[in-house]
């Protein structure tokens, strides 16, 4: 299988994380330093690929000297298959959207200039959907046709917008959580050829490992849950998910 989104630089036991049962992993940068670490690992391990970018929670670094130049240089390194993760997050800071818009605009145009997919994180504050609606607006405004809605939050308008643009929708371990009804509804609605699975390791471990440190190999639990939900053969769905991941990120076979 392929874990389409993880943070290997945050996993304490890298040897355990680099599970040999996985065909590939995409490790995601969130700032210049972690993006640099992602690139270094991708260049050291054949099965690892990197994304480089500025997480919405780090959008405040956008105007720091050298930040955009560093990420733009890293984006051209061998092993880099995407930009991000970018996006919108009001869970911790409800006033962050203006700066996150600027950060997103820079990253989506960087992705366009390099013909790379953009990895997008969207997290709303409890009971709100301002981050999701901002994402809808910005996706439509920039209209880049290569992207991934990472860790799908179940927001219908956001998913519809992503699909209209030709994007992929990725489901993480929270698909398996009891209160994730909106996410499961989305997982039924997304066309099979646009589905991806991820771990977001070391975060969001799926049932039966919920509450523990997540690992890339646990992507299999999310894939199994997705197959059960959609009523399809697990092995057939896994093959489809891997083919989708290779097409999305343009991975070598």
pLDDT at 121 over 80: yes
Identify whether 202 is preceded by a cis peptide bond (ω within 30 of 0). Answer: yes
CATH label of the domain that carries residue 64: 3.20.20.140
**What does the angle CA 113 – CA 192 – CA 135 come to, to the nearest 5 degrees?**
45
Tell me the mean pLDDT in the region 232-247: 98
Over residues 60-95, the pLDDT tens digits come to 999 999 999 999 999 999 999 999 999 999 999 888
Between CA 138 and CA 107 the distance in angstroms is 12
Counted domains in the chain: 1
Over residues 86-111, the pLDDT tens digits come to 999 999 988 899 999 999 999 999 99
Over residues 6-19, the pLDDT tens digits come to 999 999 889 989 97
> Residue 33 CA to chain centroid, in angstroms?
18
What range does the domain containing 17 cover?
2-249
The token pair at 57 is 């929670």
Between CA 223 and CA 210 the distance in angstroms is 15
Tell me the mean pLDDT in the region 122-140: 97
């Amino acid at each position: 299988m392929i874990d389409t989104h993880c943070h290997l630089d945050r996993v304490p036991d890298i040897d355990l994380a680099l599970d040999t049962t996985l065909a590939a992993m995409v490790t995601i940068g969130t700032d210049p330093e972690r993006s640099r670490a992602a690139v270094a690992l991708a260049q050291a391990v054949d099965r690892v690929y990197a994304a480089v970018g500025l997480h919405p929670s780090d959008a405040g670094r956008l105007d720091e000297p050298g930040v955009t130049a560093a990420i733009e240089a890293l984006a051209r390194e061998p092993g880099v298959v995407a930009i991000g993760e970018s996006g919108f997050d009001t869970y911790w800071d409800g006033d962050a959207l203006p700066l996150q818009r600027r950060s997103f605009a820079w990253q989506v145009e960087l992705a366009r200039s390099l013909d790379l997919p953009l990895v997008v994180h969207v997290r709303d504050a409890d009971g709100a959907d301002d981050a999701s609606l901002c994402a809808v607006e910005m996706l439509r405004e920039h209209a880049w046709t290569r992207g991934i809605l990472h860790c799908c939050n179940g927001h219908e308008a956001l998913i519809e917008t992503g699909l209209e643009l030709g994007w992929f929708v990725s489901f993480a371990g929270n698909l398996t959580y009891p209160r994730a009804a909106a996410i499961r509804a989305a997982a039924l609605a997304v066309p099979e050829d646009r589905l991806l699975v991820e771990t977001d390791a070391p975060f969001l471990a799926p049932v039966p490992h919920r509450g523990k440190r997540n690992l890339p190999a646990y992507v299999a639990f999310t894939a199994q849950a997705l197959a059960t939900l959609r009523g399809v053969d697990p092995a057939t769905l896994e093959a489809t998910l891997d083919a989708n991941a290779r097409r999305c990120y343009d991975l070598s076979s």
